[in-house]
Amino acid sequence: MAKRVYYITALLVFLLGVPILNYFAYSNEKGDITIIDKAWTDFCNATSWNNTADIPCSANFNFTANNDTFWYPVNYNPTGKSTPYAFEPSVKDWKLERKWGNGWKEIPMTKPCNATWCGKGKYPVLYSVAWRKGKSYETRIIAIKNNPNDSILWSFGTDDPIWFGIRIEPLKSCYNESYDENIVSYKIEQDFYNKTIIVCSDEPVNLSCSEKISTYINNKTVKIENTITKLRKICTIVGIEIDGKKINWNKADFNCKRDFFKMCCDSEIDGNGDGICTSGESYITFDIRNLKFNKNLFHKKLDRLIIE
């Protein structure tokens, strides 16, 4: 069954209470497509499509079409409020693309499809893209910012990811561990042996017979086992690095968890160290955008969490 999806339809459904403000989530909710994988960048700082040194924002969605599904054009708006996506604050520009061969092709969501990669056949069409039943697709949204430091919250159904304008990396403690690995291989060995046979030239009378020595080859497979010692790197997360500033909570006997911009660190000494700040235990909270600690400590000796 063919399904036609218009932006106003998704918008009306959103107003009726379903948390959907984009074609992907709407089509997935209605069963027209099944999203099988989704992933997005945490950090991006590109403000131009032409500067290859900067990192553009991106979000990848892989899905299978359960019906012939057609998405129709929407009015372009950088904020995303009149598009299939919602960006806050607004982005400078965004594109929807699909994997095509070894590269990517743009899906023209502001006008009807006019190329094979968006589903155009022999005749003019009104839809922006056609997803065909039974086929799987790799797609992505890419965007550039107005300000490289913007941290952009964007919606995808019940997900609310952030394209951060600050670089956030886990701080790791690593060591090398040696281990033994058993390597099994096989080789072919050949055994040569001679065999004497009687050869007669006047069969079946067999009055002119003589002995003949023939050489035979016997192939056999030999299993070879060797044990070699290898090294592997073992890492644990002990802190966080924010734009080059390091906070090692492991050294201070804290454990921290991040919820969007908010970081909570609770003590492993007089708390349970689960990264959830609750009353009755010492904890420190801060916003990753300004790194100002708010401390709730029962003992001065616990005040050891620092920014390096």
* Last residue of one domain, picked from the residues 123, 143, 165: 165
64 and 99 share a domain?
Answer: yes
185 and 208 share a domain?
Answer: yes
251 and 149 share a domain?
Answer: no
Residue 191 lies in a domain: yes
C-alpha to C-alpha distance for 240 and 257, rounded to whole angstroms: 10
18 and 120 share a domain?
Answer: yes
Residue 170 lies in a domain: no
The residue among 105, 32, 20 whose CA lies nearest residue 69 is: 32
207 and 241 share a domain?
Answer: no
* Last residue of one domain, picked from the residues 229, 247, 271: 229
Planar angle of CA 129, 134, 138, nearest 5 degrees: 55
57 and 144 share a domain?
Answer: yes
pLDDT at 234: 95
222 and 263 share a domain?
Answer: no
126 and 21 share a domain?
Answer: yes
pLDDT by 10s per residue, the chain, length 308: 454 544 444 444 433 332 223 566 666 667 788 888 888 888 889 999 998 888 998 888 898 999 888 887 776 555 554 455 567 788 888 888 999 999 999 988 788 888 888 888 888 888 888 889 999 999 988 889 999 988 888 766 556 678 888 888 889 999 999 999 999 988 888 888 788 888 887 777 777 888 788 887 888 888 999 999 999 999 999 999 988 899 999 998 999 988 878 889 998 888 888 888 888 888 999 888 888 899 998 888 788 888 88
Residue 171 lies in a domain: no
The residue among 33, 92, 98, 96 whose CA lies nearest residue 68 is: 33
- What range does the domain containing 219 cover? 176-229
42 and 66 share a domain?
Answer: yes
pLDDT at 218: 84
Q: How many domains does the chain have?
A: 3
pTM for the whole thing?
A: 0.61
Residue 218 lies in a domain: yes
71 and 183 share a domain?
Answer: no
Residue 308 lies in a domain: no
The 3-state secondary structure of the chain, one letter per residue: CCEEECHHHHHHHHHCCCCCCCHHHHHHHCCCEEEEEEEECCECCCCCCCCCCCCCEEEEEEEEECCCEEECCCCCCCCCCCCCCEEECCCCEEEEEEEECCEEEEECCCCCCCCHHHCCCCCCCCCCEEECCCCEEEEEEEEECCCCCCCEEEEECCECCEEECCCEEEEEEEEEEEEEEEEEEEEEEEEEEEEEEEEECCCCCCCCEEEEEEEEEEEEEEEEEEEEEEEEEEEEEEEEEECCEEEECCCCCEEEEEECCEEEEEECCCCCCCCCCCCCCCEEEEECCCCCCEEECCCHHHCCCCCC
272 and 291 share a domain?
Answer: yes
pLDDT at 7: 42
Token representation of residue 85: 């996506």
215 and 98 share a domain?
Answer: no
* Last residue of one domain, picked from the residues 186, 210, 229: 229
The residue among 71, 95, 69, 80 whose CA lies nearest residue 23 is: 71
Residue 212 lies in a domain: yes
C-alpha to C-alpha distance for 110 and 95, rounded to whole angstroms: 10
